[in-house]
Structure 1
Amino acid sequence: MSALDAVIARIREGAVQRERERVLPNEPIGWLTEAGFAALRVPVEQGGAGASIVKLIDTLIELAAADPNVPQALRGHIAFVEDRLWAPEGPDRDRWLARFAAGELVGNAVTEIGNVTLGSTETRLDPAGDGWAITGRKFYTTGSIFADWIDASAVIPDGTEVAALVRRNQPGVTVSDDWDGFGQRLTGSGTTVFAGAHVDLADVFEFRTRFPYQTALYQLVLVAVLAGIAQEVERDAAHELRTRARAYSHGAASESRHDPQLLEAIGRLSATAAATRAITLDAARIVERAAAARDASPERIAELKRESELAVSRAQLSVAELTLRQATALFDVLGASATSTGRALDRHWRNARTVASHNPVAFKARIIGDAVVNDAEPPYEWYVGVPAKPATPASGAAS
C-alpha cells in the first residue's frame, strides 16, 4: 500500500463523522500534503511524483469514494499545478513547482455573485509599492480556506483580466466557511474578501495564457468526484446487506444477504460503479493527450483542446445521470433503517446532486449535440451573472 493509499483509507474512517458534525477536513488535507499530494503531477526531477493525468484522476476517484469533499476542495490546486506545468521553462515555473514540492496548496477565487454583469470581473488589482493590491469579494472559493495561496481572477487598471496568486495568511484576506448547500458542505466553498491584500509582481499572469484544456480539467475533477461517489454507494450497499440481520417475510430468502432480488440490485450497483469509473478514465486519457501537446503546433493544441472539452462534457453528462440513479437505487437494497441519519447514507445523493449542479448538464447536452450535428465549437469559458441590459435606442430611431 502506497503512502497515498494509506492516507485515503484513513480519510474514509472519519468521513461519516465529519459529515454529521460538519467538521471541515483540515486534518485529512494535511495528511495528503504530507504524503506528497500537492506535487503529484510535478516531475520527479523537481521533487514530485510525476503522475500522469490518468493516474491523478484514478487517485481522485478513490479519494472521492473515501470523502468526496476532499478532491473537490483540491480542484483549484490541481488546475494551477497544471497551469504551471504548461508554462514555459524558466524561473516562474520552477519557483511554483518548488512550492508544490514543499506541500504548498492553492485554492481559487473566481466567481462573483450579486448584481455583477454577466462576463465581467469587479475584483481589481491596483499598483501598490513594489507590487499590487487586490480588492474584491468572491464566492464559491472552493478549497481556499485550506490553502496557502488563492488563485484569484481580477482586472488591472488597463482592463486586462489576470490571475493573481494571493498569499492567504496575510492582512487583507478573509476566507469564510459560509457555503450553505445541502451537499458537499465541507469543501470550503464560501466567501473570500480581499481588502487591499498584497500580491507580488511575479505572481500575476494574464488569463489568456492559462493552459488550454483548463475547463476540461476543472470539470474532469468533478466527474471523478461523481465516479467516486458511485463507487462508495456500491461499497456501502454491499456492507449494509452483508451485515443485515433482519429479513422480510415476503422476501425470497431467510437471510437478506442471500435474497436473489437484493443480490441482483447489488450487481447493478456494481456495474454502474464500474461504468462511471471507465467513462471517467477514458475522458482522462483524452485530456492526457492535450497535456502532452505542450510543444505541438497551435492547430494541434486547438484540436486537442476541443476533443478534451467534448470528451469531458460527455463524461459529465453520463456520469452525473448514472451516479444520481445509483445514489437512489441504494435505498432499494435496504430497509427503512437505511434512512437513519446516523448512517448518513443520504450524503451520497446530496453530494452527487450538488456536484452535478455545477455548470448544468442540460447545457452540456446541447453543446455536445451542436458539435455532433453542426461541428460547432464548444465554449471554453463560462460565466454567471446578470445579463447586460440592451442599449436604449435614441429618440426617433427605427425600431
Structure 2
Amino acid sequence: MGTTDSKLMESLDAGAVQPGSDALREFVAAIAAGAAARDRADADTRDAIALVRAARLGVFRVPSAEGGGGATLPQLFELVLDLAEADSNIPHILRNHFAFVEKALRARHLPQYQRWIERVHANELFGLGASELGTQNIGDGDGLARLEPDGSRYRLTGTKYYSTGNLYFDHIIVNAKTPDGQFVGARVSVGQTGVDVRDDWDGIGQRQTASGTTVFTNVAVEPDDVLVLANDVKVPHQATFAQLYLTTIIAGILRRIAKDAVDLVLRRERNYYHAVAPRPADDPLLQETIGELQSAAFVAEAAVLNAAGVLGDAYKRALAGQPDEALFVEAAKRSAKAKVVIDQLALQSATRLFDVGGASAAKQSAQLDRHWRNIRTIASHNPALYKARVLGNHALNGVPLPAAAFF
C-alpha cells in the first residue's frame, strides 16, 4: 500500500487551505500523483483522505474568521473540478460532507447543528445514511431504519445503501423513523458499537468511494444528536447542490480526458500507413478530434460554474435571511440543463479518447477505460432522460420542477 508524503503533510498541517493558494495546488497535485496507484489498488485511499484532513479541506466553506478556508460556493465547485480531474473518487467521497456543511452553515440557530458544526471545526468529517432498498420510489424519503426510545437514549437499527465515503469519515447523519411516525436525522459515530460500514461496493466505476452498505444494529444515540426533520432548515430545490456536484465531477473527468488525449497523440511516434500525415501530431483528423475534446471540456466547465454562480447567489441570500425562491429555481434549471448535455458529451469523449490513441490506448496498464466507467457510474445516479423530460414539460407547459430529492 502507498504512504502519505510526510513533507506535504507537514506543509498542509499549518492550517486550512485557502482558495487559489499554493498549498491548495500542492494538495491537488498530490491527489493526482497517487490516482493511478489507487485505481490499480496498489495504494490506499485512506492516504488521500489523510491529505484531505491535513489540508483541513472539511472546513473549506467555513468562514476564515472561524478558522475555515473562507471559500465561496463557486470556489468550492472550482475545487471539485480540479479534484475530479486529479482523481474523481476523492471529490465524490467528500460530497456528503460538503452538503452537510452547507446545511450546517444555514442552520446554526438549531442546537443540534451548533454541536455538529463544532465537530467540523475540529476537522471531523460527516457522512450520510439515507438510501434504502425496498421503498416504492427512489428518493421518496420513506426510510425503514428505526429510532426507538431506550431509557434516556435512543437505539438505531437499519441498513443503508450507497453509503459513499462513510468508511473514511467520523460521523454519519442517519435518516430514520420513530415509532410515532416522525422522520428524524440521528448522528452516530462511525467507530461506535453497532455501526458496521462495509466496503462492499462493486460498481464498474468510482471503485474507491466505498459506496457500499452501512448496517446499524442497536446503536446508542444521544437525545441531543436527534433532529426531527420537520424542524430542519430547508431551501427550495435543496437537492440542487448534490446534483450539480456530481455533474461537476463529470466535467472534471472530461477535462482529464482532454489532457490525456493530448498526451496520447504527443507520445505516438507512428501513424497508420493510410493516415493523412506520418506524424500523429500533424494529422488533421487527430488535430480535429483533439480540438473537439478540448471544446467539450471547456463547455462542460463553463456550464457547471455558471449554475454554481447562481446557486451561490441563492445560498448567499438564504444565509442573509432573505431567501429568493426564483434564484433556487433558476439554479435547479441550469444544473439540470448542464447534466443533460454534459453526461452525453463526457461519455462520447471518453470513447473518442481511444480514437486518438490507437491500439496501445486499450492496454490495461493505461487505465484509460476508467474515465468511461467513472462517468457512467456517476451519471447513473439520476438518469438525464428524466431531467430532460421535466425541462421540456416546464418549457412547454409551465409545469414546475420537482422539489424533492434527486432533482
Normalised by the length of structure 2, the TM-score is: 0.89
Distance in structure 1 (CA, Å) of the matches to 2:44 and 2:340: 29
- The residue that corresponds to 2:23 in the other structure is 3
Deviation at 1:190, TM superposition (A): 0.2
Counterpart mapping for 1:204-215 below 5 A: 204-208=226-230, 209-212=232-235, 213-215=237-239
The match for 1:360 is 383
Q: Which has the higher contact order (CA 8 A, sep 6+)?
A: 1
Q: Confirm whether residue 310 of structure 1 aligns to residue 320 of structure 2.
A: no
Q: In the alignment, which of 365, 372, 389 is matched to residue 395 of structure 2?
A: 372
How far did residue 23 of structure 1 move? 5.3
2:318 to 271, 291, 294: 294
Matched, 1:244 2:263: no
Unmatched segments (≥5 aa) in structure 2: 1-20
Report the CA distance between 1:97 and its aligned residue: 2.9
Is residue 135 of structure 2 the alignment partner of residue 116 of structure 1? yes
Count of residue pairs the alignment pairs up: 381
What secondary structure sits across from 1:186 in the alignment?
coil
User: Is 1:164 aligned to residue 186 of structure 2?
Assistant: yes
Q: Which runs of 4+ in 1 moved over 4 A?
A: 295-298
Q: Is the 8 A contact 1:73 1:142 kept in 2?
A: yes
Correspondence 1:343-354 to 2 at 5 A: 343-354=366-377
Tell me the secondary structure at the aligned position of residue 34 of structure 2.
helix
2:34–2:43 Cα contact (<8 Å) kept:
no
Tell me the equivalent position of 2:254. 230
Counterparts of 1:8-157 in structure 2, within 5 Å, are 8-21=28-41, 25-89=45-109, 92-113=112-133, 115-118=134-137, 119=140, 120-157=142-179
Aligned counterparts of 2:176 and 2:124: Cα–Cα separation in 1: 22
CA RMSD for the aligned pairs? 1.8
Aligned partners of 2:74 and 2:308 also within 8 Å: yes
Q: 1:356 to 1:319 in 2, by over 3 A?
A: same
Give the 5 Å matches for 1:377-396.
377-382=400-405
Partner of 2:8: none
Matched, 1:274 2:294: no
Report deviation, 1:52: 0.8
Report the residue type matching 2:273 in the other structure. S
Q: In 1, Cα distance between the equivalents of 2:224 and 2:370?
A: 42
Residues 1:346 and 1:339: Cα distance change in structure 2 (over 3 Å): same
SS in 1 for 2:184: strand
Q: Which digits, 9 at most, give the CA deviation of each residue in 1:137-183, with x for residues without a partner?
A: 01101111111011211112221111212111100000011111111
- The alignment-based identity, stated in percent, is 38
Matched residue, 2:222: 200
Query: Are the structure 2 counterparts of residues 26 and 197 from structure 1 closer, same or farther at C-alpha, using a change threshold of 3 Å?
Result: same
Q: 3-state DSSP class of the match of 1:74?
A: helix
Question: Shift in Å at residue 60 of structure 1?
Answer: 0.4
Q: Which letter does structure 2 place at the counterpart of 1:116?
A: T
Contact 2:129 2:163 (C-alpha < 8 Å) held by counterparts: yes
In structure 2, the CA distance between the partners of 1:211 and 1:35, relative to structure 1 (3 Å rule), is: farther
Please identify, of 57-66 and 210-219, the stretch whose mean Cα deviation from structure 2 is larger: 210-219
* Counterpart code for 1:329: R
C-alpha distance in 1 between matches for 2:266 and 2:287: 10
